[in-house]
Structure 1
Amino acid sequence: MSWTPAKLFYDGSLLCGVAAYLGAYLWLAPLLGAAPLDDQSLRMRAFGSAAFLLLTMALAIGPLARLDRRFLPLLYNRRHLGVVTCVLALAHAGEVLGWYFAFSPIPASIALLTADPGAVPFIAFGMLALGILILLAATSHDFWLAFLGPALWKALHQMIYLAYAAVVAHLAFGRLQDPGALPLALLLALSVTARLAIHLMAGAREARSDAALTPPAPAAPWVIAGRAEAIPEGRALVVRPPGGEKVAIFRHEGRLSAVSHLCAHQHGPLGEGQVLDGCITCPWHGYQYRLEDGCSPPPFTERIATYRLRLEDGWVWLDPRANPPGTHVPALVLR
């Protein structure tokens, strides 16, 4: 994807926000803390807490965008947020190595592996989370998406949830064991609870939407998708045939076209997008597809499956058997 003014503004705002947080932490923590801390310990905690906050935000953006479309601009650039999170986590790890193992008789990276003092190895949880973040940041470019394929790439990046769980365990069995960590424990509990609540709300909304999908017509394989007038101009009606995948039926200039609900880029929800410049535009990253054949306009080569439609007494009927990606299907003209 190209660097647009919107992306530059997003990245600039993100970096300024991170810098402001780090500066505020380094200034306020000595004033509010019960015990004085050296400069390196302050930096260690500042980088670590900033990484955790950004990781929490990254996981919340997806469900927030489903609950309110105004969060979609954040979703477009979520990978940038993940890369910055990884950089902060590396900075945190660097401060740890430079402070706790600076005078170790063996290399710091080796000493780290044998340094867990408690029954629960909280350092191992932190290393697991850092390893996952590095892997995901390294494969965040579209080259890896094309090389691995959308399904495998998406499955790999689902490991972000494992990284989050490892960070929570790293804090719970490490920093939260120190005296005076009650405020941090409350903030951690609030963060975890809020993230789970947002995911549950988005999941419940999705379940209600799926339950409201139109049941099939008696004459198989065609199914009734809905009334033609229920499809807004430039938008889509999303249906799920029994036993099949979701299909998005778009209306554009008095015509209807049906395509797969899944974007070929990252399996984004095409049916939640809109028609821009005559093309279906994915709400996640702006990938576009022609209505009549599901092909991306040149020079792009992505393709999605298309479906046949027919109209009877104002009802839109769908053939749930998908055509091969890129198959041309004449648009259904509304009378």
Structure 2
Amino acid sequence: MSATYRPVSWNHNKIVYDAILLIAVAVYLWIFIQVSPALHPTAAQIDGDILRMRAYGSCAFLMLSFILCIGPLARLDPRWLPVLYNRRHFGVLTCAVALMHAWYVLGWYFAFSPVDPFVALLSSNTSFARIAGFPFELFGILALAILLVLAATSHDFWLSFLTPPVWKAMHMSLYAGYTAIVLHLALGPLMAQANAALAIVVAFSVVSVAGLHLAAAVQGAAQDRDVAQAAASSPWISAGLISDLTEGRGRVVRVKGGESIAVFRHGGRISALANACAHQNGPLGEGRIVEGCVTCPWHGFQYRPEDGCAPPPFTEKLATYRVRLEDGHVLVDPRANPPGTYVEPVVIAGDAR
């Protein structure tokens, strides 16, 4: 957590994450460019620039497909959460790989054009009236433009400057960018080449993205139904048994309407506050208590569990919730207190921490 903006904030986990990401991209490109020609005689006959063009293009598509799978995967299985926490770096690298693809496209197809390569790219194909031969390049340009905007605004400054709702809405355009890339492939390489492998990869990627989002939505709907049924019998929501709560760790409790509450056991006491971090809506309930404060697992923003306030000099505040114990169960009042409201933590009898 920082009171000032920094160009890039790294910690040990982020360094490891970025290193693995860079190595994976480098290995993929090396295999595609160096190994595939030896395995496929037809690939050996392709010009080196075209091979690199395809390598970077396919890599960017696969990376973007995986990025869109991270969210639902993390909701379905918490073991994916470490990947979710650092996906902004993933997105910026995806944009860089896509730029390399565009660079080789311009360098190969339009390097000797009598007009500017960018003008030639936009004017060389105007067959809008038919599917076969449709200027698929436009979809690629749209996707690249979206990736550039999202990469350029990924820093915390833009989140604060644009406000979280606007920033979030802007970054949801990634789905439009993915749709544009799929159309770019469908109307371009898939139509021009009889490449079964490419068709299978594209189809598998699209089905995986759509299928995982559907599975996560079904799971979320089932959880909402359970919450609604519990709320019908009692205004207080069960957060499980006291023994289910781990010291210094959180537990996420869903409430009607899709919101969620983070319940923490700390020092023999129990407190509850809003699960969404004020920074980027990070899942506080998946974080832990560090030096007496709930610490967001995404970027380290901290809040006091008893009043939801960030420690000075920070000014962020979160809503808090009342908690009570009943027959060994932890119950939470789903009616939120105003952000920054102090709520006396519930003391666990017999816990002398």
Length-normalised TM-score, structure 1: 0.89
TM superposition shift of 1:108: 1.1
Moved more, 277-286 or 132-141: 277-286
**Cα-to-partner distance string for 1:210-235 (whole Å, 9 max, x where unaligned):** 3322623678xx53435552641234
State the one-letter code of the partner of 1:249.
Answer: V
TM superposition shift of 1:321: 3.4
State the one-letter code of the partner of 1:261.
Answer: N
Flag the 1:244–1:102 CA change in 2: closer, same or farther, 3 A: closer
TM superposition shift of 1:319: 3.9
Moved more, 249-258 or 19-28: 249-258
Q: Within 1, Cα distance between the matches of 2:312 and 2:341?
A: 16
Corresponding residue of 1:68: 77
**Are 1:223 and 1:241, in contact at CA under 8 Å, matched by a contact in 2?**
no
Q: Does 1:265 align with 2:279?
A: yes
Corresponding residue of 2:186: 172
State the one-letter code of the partner of 1:152.
Answer: V
Q: Within 2, Cα distance between the matches of 1:318 and 1:26?
A: 57
Corresponding residue of 2:107: 98
Corresponding residue of 1:245: 259
Which stretches of structure 1, 4 residues or longer, exceed 6 Å deviation after superposition? none
1:28-39 counterparts in 2 under 5 A? 28-31=35-38, 32=40, 34=42, 36-39=45-48
TM superposition shift of 1:117: 5.7
Moved more, 94-103 or 317-326: 317-326
TM superposition shift of 1:316: 4.6
Flag the 1:320–1:13 CA change in 2: closer, same or farther, 3 A: closer
1:204-219 counterparts in 2 under 5 A? 204-213=218-227, 215-216=230-231
Q: Within 1, Cα distance between the matches of 2:183 and 2:83?
A: 27
Q: Within 2, Cα distance between the matches of 1:243 and 1:82?
A: 30
1:130-145 counterparts in 2 under 5 A? 130-145=144-159
Q: Does 1:184 align with 2:184?
A: no
Q: Does 1:12 align with 2:25?
A: no
1:107 aligned to which of 110, 116, 120: 116
Q: Does 1:323 align with 2:323?
A: no
Q: Does 1:25 align with 2:7?
A: no
1:82-93 counterparts in 2 under 5 A? 82-93=91-102
State the one-letter code of the partner of 2:23.
Answer: C
Moved more, 1-10 or 149-158: 1-10
Q: Within 1, Cα distance between the matches of 2:243 and 2:124?
A: 63
- Across the aligned residues of Structure 1 and Structure 2, the Cα RMSD in angstroms comes to 2.4
> What SS does the aligned partner of 2:82 have?
helix
1:223 aligned to which of 236, 241, 249: 236
Flag the 1:243–1:65 CA change in 2: closer, same or farther, 3 A: closer
> What SS does the aligned partner of 1:257 have?
strand
> What SS does the aligned partner of 1:284 have?
coil
2:305 aligned to which of 291, 298, 302: 291
**Are 1:259 and 1:304, in contact at CA under 8 Å, matched by a contact in 2?**
yes
State the one-letter code of the partner of 1:24.
Answer: I
Corresponding residue of 2:346: 332
Q: Within 1, Cα distance between the matches of 2:239 and 2:201?
A: 46
| Alignment: residue pair count | 333
Flag the 1:145–1:5 CA change in 2: closer, same or farther, 3 A: same
State the one-letter code of the partner of 2:230.
Answer: P
Corresponding residue of 1:156: 170
Corresponding residue of 1:197: 211
Q: Within 1, Cα distance between the matches of 2:90 and 2:203?
A: 22
**Are 1:217 and 1:223, in contact at CA under 8 Å, matched by a contact in 2?**
no
**Are 2:239 and 2:332, in contact at CA under 8 Å, matched by a contact in 1?**
no
TM superposition shift of 1:99: 1.4
**Are 2:224 and 2:256, in contact at CA under 8 Å, matched by a contact in 1?**
no
TM superposition shift of 1:209: 2.6
State the one-letter code of the partner of 2:294.
Answer: I
TM superposition shift of 1:313: 5.1
Q: Does 1:122 align with 2:122?
A: no
Q: Within 1, Cα distance between the matches of 2:233 and 2:189?
A: 61
**Are 2:237 and 2:333, in contact at CA under 8 Å, matched by a contact in 1?**
no
TM superposition shift of 1:59: 1.3
> What SS does the aligned partner of 1:251 have?
strand
State the one-letter code of the partner of 2:259.
Answer: E
Q: Within 1, Cα distance between the matches of 2:28 and 2:172?
A: 27
Q: Within 2, Cα distance between the matches of 1:62 and 1:279?
A: 26
**Are 2:237 and 2:334, in contact at CA under 8 Å, matched by a contact in 1?**
no
**Are 1:308 and 1:319, in contact at CA under 8 Å, matched by a contact in 2?**
yes
Residue identity (%): 54
Please, which runs of 5 or more residues in structure 1 have no aligned partner?
A: none
**Cα-to-partner distance string for 1:100-139 (whole Å, 9 max, x where unaligned):** 1112222111121122365333111101100000000000
Flag the 1:251–1:166 CA change in 2: closer, same or farther, 3 A: same
Q: Within 1, Cα distance between the matches of 2:35 and 2:226?
A: 51
Length-normalised TM-score, structure 2: 0.85
Q: Within 2, Cα distance between the matches of 1:240 and 1:78?
A: 24
State the one-letter code of the partner of 1:19.
Answer: A
Please, which runs of 5 or more residues in structure 2 have no aligned partner?
A: 2-8
